[in-house]
Structure 1
C-alpha cells in the first residue's frame, strides 16, 4: 500500500458514503485525516473508528459559509502544521422537475456542490503553494457527462465542477499543486440508495473501490499528474 505517513488530508463530507470510505482508506495508508462535515455525530464516529489504529481529527466545516470555510482551513493549517491533500467530496441533490424545484433548493445545491469546492480550493491553494506541494481532488460525477430527467441542479453543479476543476488545474500547476477531477459512477451509498431504493445494488460500485483510487492518486509523488479519472461500476448504466 502506498505510504501517506506525515500527510495531512482534508475530506469534505467525510461523515458518510464515499467521504467516510475515503477517510478510512487514507488513514489506513498512514495519513492524518481531517474529517470535515456539518454532521458532527456521524463525523465523530468516523474519527473514533479511525483513531483505534490511525489518526483522524474532526473539524466542523460549513461549505455554505465563506468566512467559516476560511477560518476552519486556517485553523486546520495552524493546528496540524500543513495541508497536503484536499478531497472535495461533499454533495447534495434535489430530485425534482424544474417546475417544482424551489429557488432555495437550487441555491443550496449550488452552494454545497460548486461554490463549496471553490471556497475550499481558494483558501487551501495558497497554503499548498507556500509549502511547495499539494493535491486537490474534486469528486465529480457521470452527471457531468450526460443528463437525465429531474436532476437539473445536480447536473448544473457537476458540469460546473468539472469545468472549474479543469480551470483550477491550469492555475495550480504553476505553483506545484496537482488537481484531479475524479468522475465517479453510481455507488452503494446513502446518497443514491436512500433516494432511489429501486436501484439494483449490484449495478452500483462499492464506495471503497472509489476511495482506493483516491488514495492511489494522492500517494503518487512523481511529476506525473492525472487530470481526470473516470471510475465506473462494471454494470454502469448512466455512462456511456
Structure 2
C-alpha cells in the first residue's frame, strides 16, 4: 500500500498507557516502523523496561512518567518537547482504567477516576497537541475506543460513558481537522476484547479463545497511519471473530 505504512522514520510518537498491554504493543509497532516513541505511563518500572528493550533492538524510545488525569502534567510534557525543538507527530490516546461494579455499588471517586482517565485525559492531550499540529501543518491523532462506545453491558456504566464520550469527541475533532488542516488525521479505533492485563487481571477466568491479540489492534493503529493524504479514516473497528459484545 502507498503512504507511510510500515515506515514512520523521522516521526515522533507519544503513546499514553504505553508501558504494557495494548499500549506496549502499540509502542513496539511504532518503534519497529521507525518512529521515535515517547512511552508515557504512570508505571515507571514497566515503561523503562520496555524502552530499554526497544533501544537494545535498535529502536528509539524514551519513557516519561505521566498521569493523563493531570492537565498541568500533560501540558508540561508537550511543552518540554517543544522547548527542545521536538513535536508530537503521532498521538495515541490509549491510557484507560475500569471499575467493574454495579452502579449501586460505585463510589464518586471511582466514577471520577474512570471518566477522568478515559475521557478527560485524552481531551487534555488533544488540547495540547492538536493546536500545535495545526501550526505545523500535519500530524495524526489516534484515540483508542471500545465496543462499549456502541453497546454497553452491566457493571460497565462509567467505562461505557467515558468511551462513548471519547467517540463523540473524536468524531468532532475529525470534522474540525477537515476544516482546519488537511494534513491532520484523526482516527478512532473501536477495539474488542484483548488478551491483556486490562482484561485478565479483572476477569482471570475469561475465555481467551474469545479474545484477540493486542498486536492485531496495534497493527490496526499502524494501518490508520498509512492512509494516503488524499483519504481519511475516521474510525476503524477490530474485534475478535467471536466477539459477543458487537454490535
Output the TM-score relative to the length of structure 2.
Answer: 0.94
Which structure 1 segments of 5+ residues have no match?
none
Secondary structure of 2:122's counterpart equals helix
Return the alpha-carbon distance in structure 1 between the equivalents of residues 84 and 228 of structure 2. 24
Residue from 69, 76, 79 that aligns with 1:71: 76
Which structure 2 segments of 5+ residues have no match?
none
Residue from 25, 29, 49 that aligns with 1:25: 29
1:112 CA displacement: 0.5
1:208 has 2:212 as partner: no
CA RMSD across the alignment: 1.1
1:92 has 2:88 as partner: no
1:80 CA displacement: 5.7
Aligned positions, number: 240
1:237 CA displacement: 1.2
Return the alpha-carbon distance in structure 2 between the equivalents of residues 21 and 163 of structure 1. 25
Residue from 181, 185, 194 that aligns with 1:175: 181
Whether the 8 Å contact between 2:96 and 2:114 is mirrored in structure 1 is: yes
Whether the 8 Å contact between 2:227 and 2:233 is mirrored in structure 1 is: no
Residue from 228, 232, 239 that aligns with 2:235: 228
Deviation per CA, 1:132-167: give whole Å up to 9, x if none. Answer: 100000000000111100110001101111111111
Deviation per CA, 1:43-65: give whole Å up to 9, x if none. Answer: 11111111112000111211111
Return the alpha-carbon distance in structure 1 between the equivalents of residues 55 and 85 of structure 2. 16
Q: Give the direction of change, closer, same or farther, for the CA distance of 1:235–1:117 in structure 2 (3 Å limit).
A: same
1:50-199 alignment runs, 5 A limit: 50-52=54-56, 53-79=58-84, 81-173=86-178, 174-176=180-182, 177-199=184-206
1:221 CA displacement: 4.1
Output the TM-score relative to the length of structure 1.
Answer: 0.97
Whether the 8 Å contact between 1:47 and 1:56 is mirrored in structure 2 is: yes
Whether the 8 Å contact between 1:87 and 1:138 is mirrored in structure 2 is: yes
Residue from 4, 11, 24 that aligns with 2:8: 4
Return the alpha-carbon distance in structure 1 between the equivalents of residues 190 and 238 of structure 2. 6
Secondary structure of 1:235's counterpart equals coil
Return the alpha-carbon distance in structure 1 between the equivalents of residues 51 and 151 of structure 2. 36
Return the alpha-carbon distance in structure 1 between the equivalents of residues 11 and 226 of structure 2. 9
Deviation per CA, 1:99-125: give whole Å up to 9, x if none. Answer: 110000000111100000100000001
Whether the 8 Å contact between 1:8 and 1:80 is mirrored in structure 2 is: no
1:10-49 alignment runs, 5 A limit: 10-49=14-53
